[in-house]
C-alpha cells in the first residue's frame, strides 16, 4: 500500500526538507578519527569518539548520498576510513567501542554487540551507495558476527566480549538484538545472502513470540546468559541510556516496525513470513502508545514503564517519538487503518512544536515531563539516526531496507 508523505511540518517544510536539514547539521560531526558527539548547538565535543555514533553517522550519510546529496559522499568515505583504521582492532579483530579524541587510542576496548551491529549497518549502506571499500569492511564485520556474536542455539546474539574475544559477558540484551535485526536485513539486501535475513527473522520471532506476546506486549529487555528474563534489572538506575529498568516504550514501537520489515523481506523472498506479523506489530505499537503517550497529562512519550504499564522515567527521549513515527508509517502501509496516519500527523505536530530545534538544528535529544530541553540521560545531540529514519520511513516501502530502497528509487527515476 502506498502512503502519502505528510504535509508541511518542522518549521514549514516537508519531511524531505527536514531530512536534508538533519544531514546538514550532522556534517559537523566529522573529525579526525571518526564522528564526534555533538553538543546542543551542533559543535563537536571533546568526548571520546563512540563506535556507535561513527557507524550511525556513516549510515546516515550513505542514505543522504542515495537521496541525491553528493556532498555526503566524502563523509561516507570519512566514516569508512575511521572504521577501517583507528576503530579496527588489528590484533584481535572487531572494533573498539570508543577512542580518545585527543590521542586516538582506545578508551573502551570491549567488543560490544550493539556497536558491532552498527558496523554491519554502516558497511551495508555504504556498499549500496557505491563505496568499494565498504565491501571489505562488510565482509569482515559479518565474519565477526558469525564467529563471535551469533548464537545458533537460541537464534539470538551475544552482548559483548573482552578485547581478545576470550571472555563473554554473562548479560544478554534485546537492545543489541534489535539493532542486529536491522543490520542483518541491510546486509542481506547488500550482499544477496539470505542467511542474514533468515537470522533476523529468527531473532524477531523469539522476541515477539517467546517474550512479548506472553508479557502483555511489553518487551523484556534484560536477560541472563541463558536467555532467562531479568525483569528487575537496573531497578536502581532506571534511566540508564542503554539498559534502563522496565519496559522501554520506544523499543515496543521500534519492534513493531522491524517485525513488519522482517515479514515483508521474508515474503518477498518467497519464504514463510513471521507468525501473525501484522497482529503482533499492531499489538506492540498499541501497547506502547497506551503506556507511553500523554500518560502524565502532557504531550510526548515517557521513556520507560514498569511491568504494569505505570510510567517510571517520564522524560521524553527524541528517539522514542521518532520510532513512533516509523511504526505509524509502517502500520498504515501494512493495515490500511487510517488511525495510524492520524496518529503520525499528531506526533509530527508534536515534533514540530517542541522536539525539533528550529534555532539550533536537529532534535532536542531529551525533554523533561514539561517538554523543556534537559540532559538527565542524554547530553547534547549525539547523532541524527533516529530522526532521519523517521523522515525516510514515510517515503519508503517496508522492504527492502533503507539504503537498498533508496538506490532502487534513484535507479528507477533515471
Label residue 147 exposed, middle or buried (CB < 10 Å: 0-12, 13-18, 19+): exposed
Counting every residue written for the chain, the total comes to: 414
DSSP secondary structure of 311-354: EEE-PEEHHHHHHHHHHHHHHHHHH--THHHHHHHHHHHHIIII
Q: Can you give the residue ranges of every domain in the chain?
A: 15-232+241-409
Query: Fold for domain 15-232+241-409?
Result: Glycosyltransferase (1.50.10)
User: Residue 1: pLDDT band by 50, 70, 90 thresholds?
Assistant: very low
User: Residue 68: pLDDT band by 50, 70, 90 thresholds?
Assistant: very high
Cell of 75: 563523509
pLDDT in tens, 30-67: 999 999 999 999 999 999 999 999 999 999 999 999 99
Average pLDDT of the residues in 73-81:
98
Label residue 16 exposed, middle or buried (CB < 10 Å: 0-12, 13-18, 19+): middle
Phi, psi of 95, deg, nearest 5:
-135, 140
Identify the pLDDT of residue 12: 58
Cα–Cα distance measured from residue 187 to residue 116, given in angstroms and rounded to the nearest whole number: 13
**Contact between residue 60 and residue 124 where contact means Cβ atoms under 8 Å apart:** no
Identify the pLDDT of residue 300: 98
Per-residue CA distances from 115 to 24, 96, 185, 193 (Å): 24, 9, 16, 22
Q: What is the pTM of this model?
A: 0.97
Q: At what angle do helices 318-335 and 277-292 cross, to 10 degrees?
A: 140
Cα–Cα distance measured from residue 277 to residue 261, given in angstroms and rounded to the nearest whole number: 10
pLDDT in tens, 314-328: 999 999 999 999 999
Beta-carbon count within 10 A of 60 CB? 30
Q: Which residue among the candidates 116, 179, 233, 386 is catalytic per the annotation?
A: 386
Identify the pLDDT of residue 14: 79
- Torsion angle, CA of 396/398/403/408, rounded to 10 degrees? -70
Is 8 a residue whose pLDDT tops 80?
no
Cα–Cα distance measured from residue 233 to residue 222, given in angstroms and rounded to the nearest whole number: 7
Cα–Cα distance measured from residue 149 to residue 111, given in angstroms and rounded to the nearest whole number: 10
222 is catalytic: no
Q: At what angle do helices 133-144 and 113-128 cross, to 10 degrees?
A: 150
Sheet strands (E) in 202-266: 222-223, 247-248
Q: Which residue among the candidates 251, 318, 365, 399 is catalytic per the annotation?
A: 251
Q: At what angle do helices 385-393 and 318-335 cross, to 10 degrees?
A: 20
Query: Average pLDDT, whole number, for the chain?
Result: 96
Per-residue CA distances from 144 to 28, 224, 335, 386 (Å): 30, 22, 37, 25
275 is catalytic: no
Beta-carbon count within 10 A of 108 CB? 15
pLDDT in tens, 135-191: 999 999 999 999 999 999 999 999 999 999 999 999 999 999 999 999 999 999 999
Is 2 a residue whose pLDDT tops 80?
no
Is 266 a residue whose pLDDT tops 70?
yes
User: Residue 401: pLDDT band by 50, 70, 90 thresholds?
Assistant: very high
Amino acid at each position: 500500500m502506498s502512503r502519502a508523505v505528510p504535509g508541511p511540518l518542522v518549521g514549514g517544510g516537508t519531511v524531505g526538507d527536514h531530512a536534508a536539514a538533519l544531514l546538514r547539521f550532522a556534517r559537523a560531526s566529522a573529525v579526525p578519527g571518526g564522528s564526534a558527539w555533538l553538543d546542543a548547538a551542533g559543535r563537536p565535543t571533546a568526548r571520546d569518539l563512540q563506535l556507535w555514533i561513527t557507524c550511525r553517522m556513516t549510515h546516515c550519510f550513505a542514505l543522504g548520498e542515495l537521496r541525491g546529496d553528493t556532498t555526503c559522499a566524502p563523509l561516507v568515505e570519512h566514516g569508512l576510513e575511521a572504521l577501517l583504521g583507528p576503530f579496527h582492532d588489528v590484533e584481535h579483530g572487531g572494533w573498539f567501542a570508543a577512542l580518545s579524541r585527543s590521542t586516538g587510542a582506545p578508551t573502551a576496548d570491549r567488543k560490544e554487540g550493539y556497536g558491532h551491529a552498527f558496523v554491519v549497518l554502516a558497511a551495508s549502506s555504504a556498499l549500496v551507495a557505491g563505496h568499494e571499500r565498504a565491501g571489505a569492511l562488510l565482509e569482515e564485520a559479518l565474519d565477526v558476527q558469525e564467529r563471535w556474536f551469533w548464537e545458533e542455539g537460541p537464534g539470538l546474539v551475544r552482548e559483548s566480549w573482552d578485547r581478545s574475544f576470550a571472555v563473554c559477558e554473562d548479560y544478554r540484551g534485546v537492545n543489541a538484538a534489535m539493532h542486529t535485526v536491522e543490520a542483518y536485513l541491510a546486509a542481506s539486501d547488500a550482499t544477496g545472502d539470505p542467511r542474514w535475513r533468515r537470522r533476523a527473522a529468527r531473532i524477531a520471532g523469539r522476541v515477539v513470540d517467546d517474550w512479548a506476546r506472553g508479557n502483555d506486549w511489553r518487551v523484556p529487555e534484560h536477560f541472563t546468559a541463558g536467555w532467562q528474563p531479568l525483569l528487575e534489572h537496573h531497578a536502581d538506575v532506571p534511566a540508564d541510556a542503554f539498559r534502563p529498568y522496565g519496559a522501554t516504550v520506544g523499543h515496543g514501537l521500534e519492534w513493531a516496525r522491524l517485525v513488519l520489515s522482517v515479514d515483508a523481506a521474508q515474503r518477498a523472498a518467497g519464504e514463510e513470513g513471521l507468525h501473525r506479523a501484522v497482529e503482533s506489530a499492531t499489538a506492540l505499537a498499541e501497547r506502547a502508545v497506551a503506556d507511553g503517550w500523554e500518560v502524565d497529562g502532557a504531550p510526548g512519550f515517557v521513556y520507560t514503564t514498569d511491568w504494569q504499564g505505570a510510567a517510571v522515567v517520564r522524560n521524553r527521549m527524541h528517539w522514542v517519538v521518532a520510532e513512533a513515527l516509523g511504526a505509524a508509517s509502517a502500520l498504515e502501509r501494512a493495515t490500511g487503518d487510517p488511525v495510524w496516519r492520524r496518529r503520525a500527523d499528531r506526533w509530527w505536530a508534536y515534533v514540530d512544536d517542541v522536539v525539533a530545534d528550529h534555532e539550533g538544528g536537529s532534535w532536542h535529544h531529551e525533554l523533561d515531563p514539561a517538554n523543556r530541553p534537559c540532559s538527565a540521560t542524554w547530553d547534547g545531540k549525539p547523532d541524527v539516526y533516529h530522526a532521519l529514519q523517521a523522515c525516510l520511513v514515510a517515503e519508503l516501502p517496508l522492504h527492502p531496507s533503507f539504503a537498498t530502497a533508496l538506490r532502487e528509487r534513484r535507479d528507477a527515476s533515471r
